Each structure stands twice: as structure tokens, then as C-alpha cells.
């Protein structure tokens, strides 16, 4: 069948929805790279030229890409590396080592990871090195080409760069910057960080070997651009198999983006975070509600997805508590109201709970003290309450001073949503004092 016939074919709605889910999972979950990065063209050109000089001419460089979370630092670097691999003279020549400050927490782990990513485990074998510098120099020496005159260029990407500054003596950074400054081997060191004061964290000897080249990414995204990005993310491509379905879908997306209630929700998301990843999460929650019976995203889907995104995780935990644990939380709330936020202990909570029981002849809330103590300890494990200070551990358990980590509104909201919450417990919570 020709492409034109395929494109104009009328597929069953279920098949179209499957295709839609596949396209958007690829686009939103796998962080598909844009054809060209928007708004950071100058920075893209700068980093590309810098790495090309290392890959083609063997010129060593070091650079820091600085910007807030979600500004597009990783996306920028990935676009540069993709474009770099398309250059004929670069293909199969540039080696890459990706390290992350959250994973490689000390120099020994970092060195093992460098060895693994360069596939030099067999070369290193059981060799014993006198120092970190000696080990790194040996690894780079092993990358020399057959004629031993020139070494293959290596790109070191250090994500969460500021965390590497906390390594002992900053040995890894010192050696990488030292090699990039001398002519030992062609390497490029690219650091990604959110901290603007990152250079202040570097030791004097490390700072003196760094090129002091910094590229700043600042999010200057406006709300209309954010809205347009959302529309393009939800638009089906021209090569979608069913042309009629694609046109209907794209028309519904256009209508959705013009809806006032949707605009208000998106404005709230935009104000809280300009990070596209949070937008992608919102869109995936909307798409999960699309089905053959409802083959379009409605404003109600986006409102529900937004509600899920902004759900209070701590208040959600209250829905899973037992009635006894919920009663203890209410007793603590009343103690907070009476004593204006002063700390409390188990004995005070138990007494408050007993006052409630005395007003109710219902025996369903009669628990033994050890059971109540167990429930109290469970609330501490969930971090809904916590000790006032660490010295409290020496105090008898019943008299350790605690603080409630929930506010009044969180407790009341959770009570409204608690499944089959007894009426008398709700009334007790709503009463002015216990």
C-alpha cells in the first residue's frame, strides 16, 4: 500500500488511540530531543564549537554550564552531542564519560566508573597505583592510538558538578583540570550545576587550573510560549496513519488550549515551575484518561490531572491510617489549639483521647494502653510527629516531647476524604476544643 493510501486509511478508533499513546510516550516520557534547542541558540553554538575543537583538533577545554533546574542544561548538552556525532570527522573518535555527583560520591567510585565507561577494566587488571593522578594518567595513556603518537579525545561530563567539590581534596577535579590545561591528553571537562557560586567551592589550586569559562542558562520563558509549547507537545505529527483522526485530535487540542479554565490551571503550573518535565507529567496524566470511548482530552481531564499533581502527599498518608491513629492525630490537634503549638507527650495525648471516650458510650474505641502506644510510635515512624530534640531518646517513652508535623487544614481536608470516617470522630475534630 502506498504512503498516501496508508495516510488516508481510516483505522479503528482503538488502533488510533494505541498509536497516539505510543507517540506521546516517546515524546514525553523519553524526553525526546528537539530538532534545535529554542531560546539557547547562542549557548548551543558556543558549546558545539568548544567540543568540536577537542574532538577534531585535540584541543583541551573546560567549561561550566550553570542554570536553575529545568532550564535545559542537560537538553542543551545532549543536542550538542547529537549534532557532534553527525560531523564526519568526529564520528567514532570522541569518547564520553558521564559522571554524576549524586552517584559517584567519592573519587574511588568515580575512578571505577571512568574505567568501566572507557572499557579499560582488562587493561587495569590487578595493577596497584601510588596515587589517583597516576591511575588516571595510566587510563588516558591506554587510549593512545596504534602509533602511540596521539590519544583519542575524551569528554568528561560532570552532572551535579558542585557535589564533586565536596570530595576529599577535590582530587578528581584537580586532576581533570590539570590534564585539560597541560598537553598530556586531549580532554574536555563539562560541568553542569545549579549553583551560581560554584567557583567559590573550589580550592585555590583547582580554581587556578580551571578555564573560568561559564555558560549561563536562564529561563526567560513567557506564559504564551509555555502555552504554545504545550500545544505543540500535544499535536499529532503530519505522518499520523489516520489523517481524519489526526485533524480531529489537533482541532480538539487547539480548543482545549483556548479554554479559560484550562488556561487558569496552566497559569498556576507555570507560576510554580517553568520546568518542562513537570508539564510532561501533567500531560501524561491527561493522556492516561484517553480511551476509545473518549478519544480526546477534555478540560475536566486536565483539571483532574492538575489536582493530582498538586496533591498534598502528607495529607494523603492520613487516608491510610487506622481509626485509632486518626483519633490520636485529632487529640494532638486539640492539644495544639489549647496550648498554642507547644510540644506534647504521649501521656497528654492519651488523656485527651480518654476525655473523648468518656463522652462516648461506644466501646469500639476502647483500646489497651500498649495498643495506643504502638499506634503513637507508628505515627512517629511515618514522620507525622517527631521528637523536639535528640536528647529526648533518654527520656521515658511516655514523656518524650513531640511536635505534630501537620497543620489544621491538612487534618480537616484528610477527614473529609477519609473512607467511612465515623461521624462522632468528625464532630470531635470539628469541635473548638477536645
CA–CA separation, 163 and 358 (whole Å)? 57
CB 210 within 8 A of CB 242: no
DSSP state of 144: B
Can you state the angle between helices 323-338 and 423-430, rounded to 10 degrees?
A: 10
pLDDT digits (tens, 9 = 90+) for 358-396: 877 555 677 888 898 999 999 988 888 888 876 555 678
Give which of 174, 175, 200, 182 is closest to 66, Cα–Cα: 200
Domain boundaries, the chain: 41-216, 225-309, 315-430
- Structure confidence at residue 129 (pLDDT): 77
Residue with cell 592510538: 145
- Structure confidence at residue 1 (pLDDT): 42
- Structure confidence at residue 146 (pLDDT): 45
pTM as predicted: 0.66
- Structure confidence at residue 395 (pLDDT): 72
CA–CA separation, 194 and 196 (whole Å)? 6
CB 210 within 8 A of CB 202: yes
* CATH code of the domain occupying 41-216: 3.40.50.300
- Structure confidence at residue 4 (pLDDT): 47
- Structure confidence at residue 133 (pLDDT): 79
Burial of 414 (0-12, 13-18, 19+ CB in 10 A): buried
**Cα angle at 241 between 235 and 247, to 5 degrees?**
40
- Structure confidence at residue 231 (pLDDT): 87
Kindly provide the b/e burial profile for residues 92-125, where b requires at least 16 CB atoms within 10 angstroms of the residue's own CB: eebbebebbbeebeebeebbebbbeebebeeebe
Low-confidence residues in the chain, pLDDT < 70: 1-9, 31-32, 89-92, 143-150, 312, 361-364, 390-394, 432-434
Residue with cell 489523517: 243
- Sequence-ordered list of residues with C-beta below 8 angstroms from that of 308, at least 6 positions apart, any chain: 285
How far apart are the two ends of the chain, measured CA to CA in Å?
76
- Structure confidence at residue 147 (pLDDT): 45
Which H or E run contains 31?
Answer: none
- Architecture of domain 315-430 in this structure: Orthogonal Bundle (1.10)
Residues β-bridged to residue 99: 158
Amino acid at each position: 500500500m502506498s504512503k498516501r493510501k496508508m495516510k488516508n486509511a481510516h483505522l479503528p478508533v482503538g488502533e488510533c488511540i494505541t498509536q497516539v499513546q505510543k507517540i506521546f510516550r516517546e515524546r514525553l516520557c523519553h524526553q525526546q530531543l528537539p530538532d534545535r534547542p529554542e531560546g539557547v541558540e547562542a549557548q548551543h553554538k558556543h558549546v558545539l564549537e568548544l567540543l568540536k575543537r577537542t574532538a577534531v583538533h585535540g584541543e583541551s577545554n573546560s567549561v561550566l554550564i550553570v542554570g536553575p533546574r529545568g532550564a535545559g542544561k542537560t537538553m542543551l548538552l545532549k543536542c550538542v552531542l547529537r549534532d557532534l556525532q553527525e560531523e564526519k570527522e568526529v564520528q567514532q573518535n570522541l569518547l564520553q564519560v558521564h559522571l554524576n555527583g549524586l552517584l559517584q560520591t567519592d573519587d574511588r567510585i568515580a575512578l571505577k566508573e571512568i574505567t568501566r565507561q572507557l572499557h579499560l577494566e582488562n587493561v587495569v587488571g590487578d595493577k596497584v597505583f601510588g596515587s589517583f593522578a597516576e591511575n588516571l594518567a595510566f587510563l588516558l595513556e591506554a587510549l593512545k592510538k596504534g602509533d602511540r603518537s596521539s590519544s583519542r579525545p575524551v569528554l568528561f561530563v560532570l552532572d551535579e558538578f558542585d557535589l564533586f567539590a565536596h570530595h576529599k581534596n577535590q582530587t578528581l577535579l584537580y586532576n581533570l583540570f590539570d590534564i585539560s590545561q597541560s598537553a598530556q591528553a586531549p580532554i574536555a571537562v563539562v560541568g553542569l550545576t545549579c549553583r551560581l557560586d560554584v567557583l567559590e567551592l573550589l580550592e585555590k589550586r583547582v580554581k587556578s587550573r580551571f578555564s573560568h569559562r561559564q555558560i549561563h542558562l536562564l529561563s526567560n520563558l513567557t506564559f504564551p510560549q509555555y502555552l504554545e509549547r504545550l500545544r505543540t507537545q500535544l499535536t499529532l505529527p503530519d505522518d499520523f496513519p489516520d489523517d481524519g483522526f489526526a485533524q480531529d485530535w489537533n482541532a480538539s487540542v487547539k480548543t482545549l488550549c483556548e479554554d479559560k479554565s484550562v488556561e487558569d490551571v496552566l497559569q498556576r503550573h507555570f507560576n510554580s515551575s517553568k520546568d518542562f518535565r513537570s508539564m510532561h507529567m501533567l500531560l501524561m496524566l491527561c493522556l492516561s484518561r484517553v480511551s476509545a470511548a473518549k478519544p480526546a482530552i477534555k478540560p475536566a481531564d486536565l483539571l483532574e490531572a492538575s489536582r493530582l499533581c498538586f496533591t498534598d502527599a502528607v495529607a494523603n498518608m492520613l487516608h491510610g491510617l487506622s481509626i485509632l491513629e486518626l483519633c490520636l492525630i485529632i487529640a494532638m490537634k486539640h492539644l495544639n489549639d489549647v496550648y498554642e503549638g507547644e510540644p506534647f507527650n504521649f501521656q497528654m495525648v492519651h488523656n485527651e483521647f480518654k476525655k473523648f471516650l468518656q463522652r462516648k458510650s461506644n466501646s469500639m474505641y476502647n483500646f489497651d494502653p500498649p495498643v495506643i502506644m504502638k499506634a503513637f510510635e507508628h505515627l512517629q515512624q511515618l514522620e507525622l510527629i517527631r521528637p523536639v530534640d535528640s536528647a529526648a531518646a533518654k527520656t521515658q517513652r511516655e514523656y518524650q516531647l513531640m511536635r505534630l508535623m501537620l497543620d489544621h487544614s491538612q487534618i480537616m481536608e484528610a477527614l473529609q476524604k477519609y473512607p467511612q470516617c465515623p461521624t462522632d470522630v468528625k464532630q470531635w475534630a470539628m469541635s473548638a476544643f477536645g
